Structure 1
Amino acid sequence: MCQSRQQAGRTAVPTTNNTSRISQRRKAAIAEGGPEYAAKRAKLVQTAAVVFREKGYTTATLNDVAERFGTDRASLYYYVGSKEDLLYECISTVLDANLEQGRRIAAGPGTVREKLTELVTLTLKSYEEHYPYAFVYIQEDMSHIAGRSTEWAEELVGKTHEFERLAFDLVSAGIQAGEFRSDLPTGLVTNGLFGMMNWTHRWFVPGHSKHDAAEIAGTFLSIFLDGMART
C-alpha cells in the first residue's frame, strides 16, 4: 500500500516505448507547423528561459519548467525531447539573429569605428530585446557547452566564436588602418570589449534598470574607442 501511494504521487515519466511514440508525435507536430502548437512551444521555451535565469541551467530541472508552465513533465515531451533542447532553443534564438546582423555590419560600408559602434549597439540592444534568452546565453559557461559532444553544442560554440571573430577582425582592421593604437594585443583588447558587454547580465535587467541598452552601449563605446584611439 505504501509503495502504491508513493508511486501515485510521482510525476509520470515516459517509458522507452512511450517516449518513442511521443517523439514521433512531436516531430509530426513540428513538421506540420500548426500555429497553436508553435505558439505553445514558443511559450514553453520562454518559460524555460525564465526558470534557467532564476535557477541556473544546471540546477533547473524539467519538473521545474513543467510546474512553471502549468503542466506535468511527461507532457513537455510533446514539445521538446530534453532539457538540452530547451537550452538550445533559448540560445539559438539570440545567437542566430545576432550573427546574421553582425555579418551584415562587417560586410557593409563604413569605417571600423562605425562598424564596431553598430556591433556593440546590436549586442546590447539584442540583450534588451531578447531578455531573458540573452541572459541564459551569457550566463551559461560556453566551455561546459563545448565539452558536450553533441551536434547542437558544437553548432552554438561555432557560431559564438564566429561572432567574436567579427569583432576581433574589426579591431585588427582598425589597427592596420591606423584608426586604433597598435601597442596592445588584439585578442586581449577584443576580450576586454566582450567582457564589458557580457558582465551586464549581473546588473542590467531590461525594464527595471536605471539605464537602457542604448545608453549602456554609448558609454561602453566611449570607454573603448577613446581608449583605443591613436594619440
Structure 2
Amino acid sequence: MALNFFDQFASPTLFGIPLIVLALTLPWVLFPAPSSRWLGNRLTTLQNWFVNRFTQQLFLPLNQEGHKWALMFSSLMIFLLSLNMLGLLPYTFTPTTQLSMNMGLALPFWLATVIIGMRNQPTHALGHLLPEGTPTLLIPILIIIETISLLIRPLALGVRLTANLTAGHLLIQLIATAVFVLLPLMPTIAILTGLLLFLLTLLEVAVALIQAYVFVLLLSLYLQENV
C-alpha cells in the first residue's frame, strides 16, 4: 500500500460528519475555569501567571487605547498554542495546518486594526504608505509598494503559521517512516535516526510554541501602528 504523507492534513470525518469543530472546541475543555475561591490550585495559578506575563510583555509598547485588545489577544494566543501542541500527539489532527483556518483568523484581526486606524487617526494611518522625505518621482511607486505590503500582511500571517507546522509534521513523519524501514535492516542506523527524530520532536514543540507567539505578536505590531 502506497503511503500518502499528506493524509494527516485532511480534515477527519466520522460517519461523513467533519470533526473539525470538535478539534477546535477541545482545547478550551483542557483549561480550568475561573472559580470564586480565594486560592486556586497549582494549575490555575500557573495558568494565570503565564497569561499575565504574556499580556504584560505583549502590550508593553502599546498605549492605553491598545490595551483593550488584551483579553482577545491572550485568548487567541492560548487557543493557537493549544491547537499546535495537541497536534503533536499521535492520532490527532492539527487545525492550524489548514491555510483556510489561519486566514480566517488573520484576515479579520488585520482588517480590524486597519479599520481602527482609518477611523481614529486616518492621517497617521495613511502616512505609513509614504515615508517622509521621499523624492517626488518615487512617490507613486512607493505608494503602490507600501499598499501591496499592507494588503499582503494577512496572507503572510496565515502562510507563515501553515508552512512552519506543515513542514515540521511532514519531516517528523518522513523520519519516523525511515526508522521503521531501517529497524529490521540496519538497527544501529535506525537507533541513530530515532535519536534524530526525538530531537526533531523537541524542535517541533518549540516551533509550535514560537509560531503561536509570533502570530499574536505581529498582530499586536499591526495594532500598534493604528492606535
TM-score where L is the length of structure 1? 0.36
TM-score where L is the length of structure 2? 0.36
